[in-house]
Amino acid sequence: MSTILTQPCLTRLPDWHARLISYVNATRHKPFEVGELDCAIFWIGAVEAMTGRAPIEVTWRNMGDCRSMLRSNGYSMERAFRINEVLGAGINMTEGASLRRGDIAIMHQPSQGDTFALVWDRRHLIGVGAEHLKVARATAAHKFWRVG
């Protein structure tokens, strides 16, 4: 069973901003690949960069593993990737104005369905694209989680 850190353990480090920028720069030109850099691995890595701790262990290595996790959790990304257990209950879009860089979101992509993304500022999200990281409008998100 995976180790899950609870919300109080996930405090942003004093240099979280520089660490997050370094993480985004290191992943910005990497393509989407399940088990290597997918939307869940991206949010887990971002949280680890900011807090110094990986919130959950990555146990999937391919699309079959990922689909199996989703299927066994009723196709809920929130349950499959344990984000509510790690970061607490999400907040809805109307509360989005109080978000800050590094918070996590779920946004809807017409070609992909729901995907995790990183809040970059009040108007923009960063997510994993087919060939590199992509920027999307924050209005594409329908749920957010605060980090630290």
Residue 67 falls inside a structural domain = yes
Q: Is the pLDDT score of 40 beyond 80? A: yes
| Alpha-carbon gap, residue 29 to 16, rounded angstroms | 21
Span 7-29, average pLDDT: 90
> What's the number of domains the chain is made of?
1
| Alpha-carbon gap, residue 10 to 70, rounded angstroms | 25
Span 111-128, average pLDDT: 87
Residue 1 falls inside a structural domain = no
CATH number at residue 42: 3.90.1720.10
Q: How confident is the model at residue 107 (pLDDT cuts 50, 70, 90)?
A: confident
Residue 132 falls inside a structural domain = yes
Residue 134 falls inside a structural domain = yes
Provide the residue range defining the domain that includes 32: 7-145
The pTM for the full model equals: 0.81
Residue 35 falls inside a structural domain = yes
Residue 37 falls inside a structural domain = yes
Residue 2 falls inside a structural domain = no
pLDDT at position 73 is 65
Residue type at 113 in one-letter notation: G
**Which residues are registered as beta bridge partners of 108?**
114
Residue 110 falls inside a structural domain = yes
DSSP code, position 139: G
Buried b (16+ CB within 10 A) or exposed e, 83-101: bebbbeebeeeeebeebeb
